[in-house]
Structure 1
Amino acid sequence: MKKIVVFSNMYPSVEHPTYGIFVKNQVELLKASGVVIDIQVIDNPKAGKVNALLKYGKWFASSLIYLVGNRKNLTLTHAHYAFPTGYISLVGKRLFKLPYVVTLHGGDIDKMPKKSPRIAKLTRTILQEASHVITVGERLKQEVVTSFGVSETNVTVMSMGVDRTVFHPLERAAIREELGLPENEPVILFIGNLIREKGVLELVQAFTALQKQLPDASLRLVGSAKSAAFVEEVKEYITTHQIEGIHFEGTKTQKELAEWLAAADVLALPSYHEGFGLVALEAMAAGAPVVASDVGGLSYLLADGAGILVPAREVESLQQGLLQALSGDGAINVAKREEIVHEHSYEMILEKLLKIYGEIERTR
């Protein structure tokens, strides 16, 4: 294998260390195994039409120049997200006969094609011309096969994986002391972007109802305030209803997230939709019970008692799910949870990915 270039519209930087960290982690995993990789990525999370046009325009031009200069040294390209990122891989195939792999993360199938018929058509073309399509969840695979006409044999379900050297159980009392958390306080943890679609407001409402049974409980919200207006709405709700015990903890590094997960009594992930739900897998690896919406990849990840699934947007069901997890009454199938964590470990992910790359190289 000569060299691979990874294209991604999300990648971390010094200023934004968690932005697309899962892509960087996979790149580093591949490099450690001996694969030679270059990256052409966007590390600027700024939203807005003008920002989007500028950053995507600059990235596309840079990526095209890269392909022109390196086409003879490349085995294949690997795009994360179908559109717009996968489009540069499609261009590379048509201009230079470079095969490509595309990894789908959820929004590129659930949201992007619905923006316009042209994007939907391009997405279909990108997926159908790919040498292989990777989906982070089973539901996404079914969508790709049934709605975009991709052969089932050309699609592999493979999450971004969990690094068990980072996410694993820790001594709770010591970690809580380090984080300044009371030893006997029930801690409900949320990790993710603080946006409406993550079910944050419903979580606040469920927590409020839960306090009647567990007055000492606290809710810790960890993540980026991507929507300042929504965060203000949540804070106004908290103030208006005089809710105590809710703390906005800001963003954290991977190491810090692992500590918070090891210290928590339960991770809540009440998303409206979720391609896979990587943070739920990380919580499972850290030994934290997970209560999540029965949507997307979460429905498969937490099946058979590996976690507690509740209907999305239903506050009362969410409250009951949290109470069930906090009661510790055997609601979680620990053996099943461990089986799933092993299945999604970096070692297993690397094995699958290298097999896909190898098969493409052999058929060139």
Structure 2
Amino acid sequence: MNVLFVSRSRSKGMPSPLILAQGESLESQGVNVQYYTIDGGGVADYLKSVVHLRRKISKEYFDVVHAHYGLSGLIAGLGCGRRSVLVLSLMGTDLYGKRKADGRLSAVGIVVRAISRIVALIFSREVIVKSEDMLAMLPDKVKGSVIPNGVNFDRFECIGKSIARKRLDLSPHQKVILFPSDPSRPEKNYLLAQKSLQKLGDRSVALIPIYNLSQSELAQWYCAADVMLLTSLYEGSPNVVKEAMACRCPIVATDVGDVSWLLEDIQGCFVVRQDAEDVASALEKALAFAENFDRTSGRERLVSLKLDSLSVASRLLDVYNRSLMKV
């Protein structure tokens, strides 16, 4: 089977590490995967991509074009026409809508959300979303599949905390709370993380934001941290939570997307409200767990949920085959 992934480029014409990892997992199942990236974010860049993509699809044959994110789906739908089947993955922000710092939908968010729903309804043979909440947001006539992104256990391997800290030049005595998101993104709600740390009142604790790192670098940080903190206003199925689970890192996360389901019954992991007191209380418990027990059973939970990358690749293949049967 020949599959073309369509997505925004992260840098220098390359897809994000997450998209590449999903492609690699499909390749391990015998699928031939190619990548088409949309460079730039302007209207002219997107229009140019339609022409380039149409030219590529006219010269090469792809059974399935798999677009990641709503706007990429629009370009893929216009570009592939009827030559290939379009499968659309909605990632979260595209369906929830980009928010302002005060939590209200931005004008761009309203437009992108509308486009994503239209692409799902008109262009797409199959639609994949990351959580049940997202599934409920699809147009009534669209029957989507809930398939969260999987985790590559080989990349997110649990190494000892002391080893990870030595590699990152972190003090073995420092209490580290990891914030694996860009603080400048309003939907990640870094302000709540800061307020919660102030409520915690422990000067020995460091809140460390990290972003734009490779998966191998991220894995070292998860292994080095005492706690991973997620304070997002909304998410689909947050990859950082699953990655931290694979590295057995204690977690405090707001109740967004499928977080409650992911962290169900895991000692050392806490789901909280959008409230600084509640977050601070959970951080105190998570830090105590880290001191007494160090690591969680998050990795085993992922195995039981079949959220390793190979299991997820098999589910994607089922979607591809089903979409081709509808031709």
TM-score (norm 2): 0.86
User: Cα offset for 1:184?
Assistant: 2.5
CA apart distance, 1:319: 0.8
For residue 361 of structure 1, what is the amino acid of its counterpart? L
Secondary structure of 2:203's partner?
coil
Aligned residue number for residue 61 of structure 1? 51
Please show how residues 300-339 of structure 1 align to structure 2 within 5 Å: 300-305=261-266, 307-312=269-274, 314-328=275-289, 334-335=296-297, 338-339=300-301
State the 4+ residue runs in structure 1 displaced beyond 3 angstroms.
11-14, 112-125, 303-306, 329-337
Q: What is the aligned counterpart of 2:120 among 110, 114, 127?
A: 127
8 A Cα contact 2:176 2:226, kept in partner: yes
Q: Deviations over 1:313-342 (max 9, x none)?
A: x11111111111111189999557622355
Post-superposition CA distance 1:255-277 (Å, at most 9, x none): 11100100111000101111211
Q: Over aligned residues, Cα RMSD in angstroms?
A: 2.8
Once residues 16 and 299 of structure 2 are traced to their aligned partners in structure 1, the CA distance between those partners, rounded to angstroms, is 25
Match of 2:76 among 78, 85, 89: 89
Q: Is residue 2:23 matched to residue 1:30? A: no
In structure 2, distance between residues paired with 1:303 and 1:188: 21
Q: Give me the whole-angstrom Cα distance separating, in 2, the residues matched to 1:29 and 1:254.
A: 15
What is the CA–CA distance in structure 1 between the aligned matches of 2:158 and 2:300, rounded to whole Å? 12
| SS of 1:133 mapped into structure 2 | strand
Matches within 5 A, 1:1-364: 1=1, 3-9=2-8, 11-13=9-11, 20-44=16-40, 51-70=41-60, 73-82=61-70, 84-91=71-78, 95-111=81-97, 115=107, 122-129=115-122, 130-144=124-138, 148-151=139-142, 154-195=143-184, 196-210=186-200, 212=201, 214-223=202-211, 251-305=212-266, 307-312=269-274, 314-328=275-289, 334-335=296-297, 338-342=300-304, 343-364=306-327
Q: Which segments of 5 or more consecutive residues in structure 2 lack a partner in the other structure? A: 99-104
Percent sequence identity over aligned pairs: 26
- TM-score normalised per structure 1: 0.78
Q: Distance in 1 between matches of 2:171 and 2:196?
A: 22
Paired letter, 1:8: S
User: Counterpart amino acid of 2:36?
Assistant: Q
Q: Is the CA contact (8 Å cut-off) linking 1:308 and 1:331 kept in structure 2? A: no
CA distance in 2, matches of 1:122, 1:55: 17
Q: Distance in 2 between matches of 1:156 and 1:141?
A: 8
Residue 305 of structure 1 and its aligned partner are, at CA, apart by: 4.1
For the residues of structure 1 that align with 2:91 and 2:27, how far apart are their CA atoms? Answer: 22
1:121 CA drift (Å): 5.5
Gaps of 5+ in 1: 45-50, 224-250
CA–CA distance in 1 between the matches of 2:77 and 2:106?
A: 20
- Going from structure 1 to structure 2, the CA distance change for 1:325 and 1:297 (only over 3 Å counts) comes to same
Compare 276-285 and 175-184 and name the one that shifted more: 175-184
Give the whole-Å Cα distance in 1 for the aligned partners of 2:259 and 2:94. 17
In 2, Cα distance between the equivalents of 1:119 and 1:265?
37
How far, CA to CA, are the matches of 2:250 and 2:314 in structure 1?
28
Distance 1:103 1:166, change over 3 A: same
In the TM superposition, residue 43 of structure 1 has moved relative to its aligned partner by 4.8
**Would you say how many aligned residue pairs link Structure 1 and Structure 2?**
315
- Shift of the alpha carbon at 1:207? 1.3
SS in structure 2 opposite 1:357? helix
| 2:86 alignment partner AA | Y
Q: CA, structure 1 residues 12+121, in 2 after alignment: closer, same or farther (shift >3 Å)?
A: closer
Q: Which moves more between the two structures, 261-270 or 321-330?
A: 321-330
8 Å contact kept, 1:325–1:331? no
| Contact 1:80–1:103 under 8 Å retained in 2 | yes
The SS at the match of 1:7 is strand
- How far residue 124 of structure 1 moved from its aligned partner, in angstroms, is 3.2
Relative to its length, the structure with more helix (as a share) is 1
Between structure 1 and structure 2, the one with the greater Rg is 1
